[in-house]
């Protein structure tokens, strides 16, 4: 095992990272490519957690422009993040990486409920954890979730945040 700088990382992926060239939907090739890169880090002995957006499936702004209720639009986005989390989980498990999807919005048939200690335990057991539904609260983007997850009392330990592709404006990760 190589010398690693970080024991645990939290990766924030834009949903658009799964879209590929089309910019919309889930491109299985992209999911597999991301899974392969995550596996490289995982195989170095790093505990990997992922927060994923849904910009490839839904932009609440479009609904709002047509008069949709903001809370409804935000919950639809949360559902999209769970779909993306499941696609990434599937790609990871097909290459031999044990993965768990945890959701901030309860939907036990497809994801475990987010419980901080459960997330930490999954990481300690060598599983990649993919978070769906952001913080579970309307009016917050998935760009807020990594910052929220890294602060006490919700902190999952010493995490380092790595971001990949997003067009979201108005969120700060600093």
For residue 46, the domain's CATH number is 3.40.1160.10
Tell me if 1 is assigned to some domain. Answer: no
User: Which tens digits make up the pLDDT trace of 97-147?
Assistant: 999 999 999 999 999 999 989 999 999 999 999 999 988 888 888 877 776
User: Which tens digits make up the pLDDT trace of 43-61?
Assistant: 999 999 999 999 999 988 8
Tell me if 173 is assigned to some domain. Answer: no
Tell me if 98 is assigned to some domain. Answer: yes
Tell me if 169 is assigned to some domain. Answer: no
- Listing DSSP states for the chain in one string gives ----S-SEEEEEE-GGGGTGGGSSS--HHHHHHHHHHHHHHHTTT-EEEEEE--TTT--HHHHHHTT--HHHHHHHHHHHHHHHHHHHHHHHHHTT--EEEEESS--TTTSEEP-HHHHHHHHHTT-EEEEESTTS-TT--TTHHHHHHTSTTS--SSEEEEEE-----S----
Count of domains forming the chain: 1
Q: What is the pLDDT of residue 3?
A: 80
Tell me if 116 is assigned to some domain. Answer: yes
Residue span of the structural domain in which 20 resides: 8-164
Q: What is the pLDDT of residue 115?
A: 92
Tell me if 65 is assigned to some domain. Answer: yes
Tell me if 115 is assigned to some domain. Answer: yes
Say yes or no to pLDDT of 91 above 90.
Answer: yes
Q: What is the mean pLDDT of the chain?
A: 87
Q: What is the pLDDT of residue 151?
A: 62
Tell me if 174 is assigned to some domain. Answer: no
């Amino acid at each position: 095992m190589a010398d690693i700088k970080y024991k645990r990382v939290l990766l924030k992926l834009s949903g658009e990272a799964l879209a590929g060239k089309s910019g919309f939907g889930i491109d299985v090739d992209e999911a597999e490519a991301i899974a392969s890169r995550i596996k490289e880090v995982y195989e170095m002995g790093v505990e990997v957690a992922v927060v994923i957006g849904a910009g490839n499936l839904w932009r609440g702004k479009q609904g709002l422009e047509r008069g949709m209720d903001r809370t409804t639009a935000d919950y639809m986005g949360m559902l999209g993040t769970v779909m993306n989390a499941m696609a990434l989980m599937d790609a990871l498990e097909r290459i031999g990486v044990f993965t768990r999807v945890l959701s901030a919005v309860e939907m036990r048939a497809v994801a475990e409920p987010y419980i901080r200690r459960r997330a930490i335990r999954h990481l300690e057991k060598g599983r990649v954890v993919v978070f769906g539904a952001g913080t579970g609260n309307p009016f917050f983007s998935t760009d807020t979730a990594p910052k929220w997850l890294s602060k006490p009392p919700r902190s999952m330990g010493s995490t380092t945040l790595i971001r990949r592709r997003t067009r979201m404006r108005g969120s700060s990760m600093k």
